[in-house]
Amino acid sequence: MKKSVQIGFFLLPAVALTGIFIYYFAGWSAWASMLSWEGLSGFGHFIGLQNYIDLFTKDFVFRKGLINTLILSGSFIAVTLPLGLLNAILIDLGLKGKKAFRLIFLLPLSFSFVVSATMWVWMFAPQSGTINTLLRGIGLGALAQPWLTSSSQSLLGLVIIYVWQFSGFATLVYFAGISSVRTELLEAAEVDGATTFQKYIRVVIPLQKIPTFTVLFLLLMYALRVFDLVWLTTGGGPGYSSELLATYMWRVAFNRNQFADGAAIGFVMFILSALIVIPFVVKMRGDTS
């Protein structure tokens, strides 16, 4: 009994903080989203789901931000997962330059989003940027692009930035998963005459379900609420071409002082995250039980 009390005492601060900053404020946000709250004069009156109806039927920018968020999340994850797995396999193979290779892909993890955004804005600059300058220097100036300043390429530029930022994380998780594969399984495959390629295809990769779910879960959680890198690189532009739910929520709530609409956008993000993430969590628990 005494031990249970001690455990409860140590868990109490974490439970209290989780209850306040997650469940209480999530409930408060849901309530605020159903008010006619604009400006600093007061909360307004209860209008039910009218803010949500207006967002989906009348607000073009919200629908654009929702589509862009889904496109960015899907593209970013679809590239990062296989790239991380491939990098982890190359590191595990012990190729020459392994340390330098590992440093290159893990270095972005140490960069803050502010540093990353500043660096990529400079690299993507149409006239003086590193990428276009390099293309012109090697005689491929025709391939120079406007990148983040183009409404048709800004979202692609953001995908490139996020893949660069998080591919090292995916590599790290996959490498830990590959390293944990039991040597008995690999030795048995060798006895059966399996080549190196066959060992990875038939033994190593099928055993990476938990690392895959881990990377997928964490990247989804981040991708659905991305704000910092987007705000510091494109600001949602040009022309709303890279507007996301998070950037639009900030714009609506704190630039226009339409707090109820901002709360509604935030709650849509919460529901979207829950609908996508919960099935993966259930699937992962089922595979590990």
Q: Which two tokens stand for residue 93?
A: 């193979």
- State the average pLDDT over residues 153-168: 90
Confidence of residue 244 (pLDDT cuts 50, 70, 90): very high
Regarding predicted confidence, which is higher, 190 or 178?
178
Please say whether the beta carbons of 207 and 177 come within 8 A: yes
pLDDT in tens, 206-220: 888 888 888 888 888
* CATH class held by domain 51-288: mainly alpha
Q: What is the pLDDT of residue 91?
A: 84
Please say whether the beta carbons of 162 and 232 come within 8 A: no
- pTM for the full predicted model: 0.85
Q: What is the pLDDT of residue 2?
A: 67
